[in-house]
């Protein structure tokens, strides 16, 4: 029995690994005399060799699927080993792992078997059994299957901490080209329902404290990047819209890995677009924690993110007129816009400058990356480096200075330039 279970676990974990979401944050569910609780910040329990965190038991209920989406490893026409868990097996596995502190909870997704309703019901039953029979209060993240009945999704929301519906392909016509059985409307339907449910639940909980939680950790989604020809501008505007209209907690970006390279509808990429994915995440952070608008990060003239430098630096170089910023006087929001200053250092700066005026030595100690920041600030004694350097020159200089792993073939062209630059900085 154990060998069979091990075999299933192998197949269904392998099939689930391309879903990038793994966060266990956002839920403060209390332990009411049973097992487990939620920790608002989330906890990562292990890290695989690809450097990604293992927080939840991320697994598929089954990798049988009636759909045939071009980008998906589990598409019906692929010849792969298939397997399916029973509800009880999953419950036992989750509890067994949780009690040993291997995991923070369960992230259950599934291929669509028979029909969306059947699949959704299976997922919901696992969560229900964990919550009611096992008195389990740890984290549960369920996939909401597009096309499932609203009642099933509502039930799932009552047991889960987070629900997610994957959009996968950022524009509707590309989605329909790659996944003929799907469209954006079918994805937005459950997303709208969950969003309304969460808002309503929050209102009710203000009035009646005993109202059961509905998806307390909110909902998230995933976009595949590089499987279709959308620009970063389209992707970021979509993400920004989702954050505002649907109140999503997270949008995940998954650089397309050529899992089905035989399919002519997909582009042949020399390597997975990992740098692009990274830049998209950086932009996402700028929108969520730094107060940037999507339209500031990508513009009509720059619809794609600069792969060589990060989006914040890129923004600064396009908007040199707002710099230099005075560390000792500027508002928190402006300090956040200085390249090399993160949320933590910005908060420290604002707290520390009430005690004394800060100079560059302090800033370095506070954790500011002065290599980048010095061109954009003035503080007690530091002269503005900015005055005489054009943004293009500065850009190349900063790329050269950085030991970024993203620097690639451009090196040869740049080294020629660097000699000129070295001369010009010496003055």
Tokens 């956040």 -> residue? 336
Instruction: Name the pairing type of β-strands 53-54 and 46-47.
Output: antiparallel
- Do 166 and 107 contact (CB within 8 A), yes or no? no
Closest contact distance (angstroms) between CB of 37 and other proteins is 5
Question: Between 183 and 402, whose beta carbon lies closer to other proteins?
Answer: 402
- Do 111 and 60 contact (CB within 8 A), yes or no? yes
Pick from 327, 298, 331, 303: which is nearest to 315 by CA?
298
Closest contact distance (angstroms) between CB of 380 and other proteins is 11
Closest contact distance (angstroms) between CB of 279 and other proteins is 16
Closest contact distance (angstroms) between CB of 115 and other proteins is 28
Which stretches of the chain bind other proteins, using CB under 8 A? 2, 5-6, 9-10, 13-14, 16-18, 30-31, 33-37, 39, 43-54, 57-59, 93, 96-97, 99-102, 135, 257, 272, 274, 348-349, 351-356, 358, 362, 365-366
Question: Between 307 and 352, whose beta carbon lies closer to other proteins?
Answer: 352
Closest contact distance (angstroms) between CB of 262 and other proteins is 17
Question: Between 47 and 417, whose beta carbon lies closer to other proteins?
Answer: 47
CB-based burial, 59-78: b 16+ in 10 Å, e otherwise: bbbbbbbeebbbbbbbbeee
Question: Between 190 and 273, whose beta carbon lies closer to other proteins?
Answer: 273
Q: How far is CA 49 from CA 52, 54, 309, in A?
A: 7, 11, 26
Closest contact distance (angstroms) between CB of 84 and other proteins is 16
| Residue 58 burial (C-beta neighbours within 10 Å; 0-12, 13-18, 19+) | buried
Question: Between 51 and 229, whose beta carbon lies closer to other proteins?
Answer: 51
Pick from 147, 148, 102: which is nearest to 125 by CA?
148
Closest contact distance (angstroms) between CB of 307 and other proteins is 17
Question: Between 67 and 97, whose beta carbon lies closer to other proteins?
Answer: 97
CB atoms within 10 A of CB 44: 14
Handedness of CA 219, 224, 228, 232 (dihedral sign): positive
Question: Between 143 and 182, whose beta carbon lies closer to other proteins?
Answer: 143
Mention every residue, 6+ apart, whose C-beta is less than 8 A from residue 77.
68
Closest contact distance (angstroms) between CB of 83 and other proteins is 12
CB-based burial, 268-304: b 16+ in 10 Å, e otherwise: eeeeebebbbbbbebbbebbeebebebebbbeeebee
24/217 Cα distance (integer angstroms): 9
Question: Between 42 and 157, whose beta carbon lies closer to other proteins?
Answer: 42
């Amino acid at each position: 029995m154990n060998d069979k279970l091990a075999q299933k676990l192998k197949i269904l974990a392998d099939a689930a690994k391309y879903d990038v979401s793994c966060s266990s944050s956002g839920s403060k569910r209390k332990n009411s005399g049973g097992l487990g609780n939620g920790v608002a910040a989330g906890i990562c329990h292990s890290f695989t060799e690809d450097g990604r965190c293992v927080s939840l038991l991320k697994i598929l209920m089954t990798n049988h699927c009636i759909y045939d989406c071009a980008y998906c490893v589990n598409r019906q026409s692929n010849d792969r080993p298939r397997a399916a868990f029973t509800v009880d097996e999953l419950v036992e596995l989750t509890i067994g792992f949780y009690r040993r502190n291997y995991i923070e909870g369960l992230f259950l997704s599934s291929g669509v078997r028979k029909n969306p309703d059947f699949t959704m019901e299976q997922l919901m039953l696992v969560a229900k059994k964990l919550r009611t029979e096992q008195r389990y209060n740890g984290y549960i993240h369920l996939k909401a299957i597009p096309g499932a009945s609203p009642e099933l999704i509502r039930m799932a929301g009552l047991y889960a901490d987070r629900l997610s519906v994957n959009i996968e392909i950022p524009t509707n016509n590309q989605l329909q080209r790659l996944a003929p059985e799907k469209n954006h409307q079918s994805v937005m339907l459950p997303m709208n329902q969950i969003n309304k449910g969460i808002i309503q639940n929050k209102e009710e909980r203000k009035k009646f404290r005993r109202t059961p939680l509905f998806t307390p950790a909110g909902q998230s989604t995933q976009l595949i990047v590089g499987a279709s020809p959308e620009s970063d501008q389209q992707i970021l505007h979509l993400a920004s819209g989702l954050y505002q209209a649907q109140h999503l907690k997270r949008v995940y970006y998954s650089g397309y890995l050529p899992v089905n390279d035989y399919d002519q509808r997909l582009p042949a990429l020399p390597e997975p677009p990992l740098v692009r994915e990274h830049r998209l995440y950086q932009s996402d952070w700028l929108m969520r924690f730094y107060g940037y608008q999507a339209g500031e990060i990508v513009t009509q003239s720059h619809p794609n993110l600069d792969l060589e430098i990060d989006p914040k630096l890129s923004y600064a170089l396009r908007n040199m007129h707002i710099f230099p910023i005075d560390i000792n006087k500027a508002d928190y929001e402006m300090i956040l816009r200085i390249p090399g200053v993160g949320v933590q250092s910005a908060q420290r700066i604002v707290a520390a400058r009430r005690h004394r005026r800060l100079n560059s030595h302090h800033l370095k100690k506070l954790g500011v990356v002065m290599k980048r920041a010095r061109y954009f600030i003035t503080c007690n004694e530091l002269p503005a480096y900015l005055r005489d350097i054009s943004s293009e020159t500065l850009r190349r200089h900063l790329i050269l200075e950085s030991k970024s792993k993203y620097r690639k073939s451009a090196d040869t062209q740049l080294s020629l330039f660097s000699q000129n630059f070295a001369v010009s900085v010496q003055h």
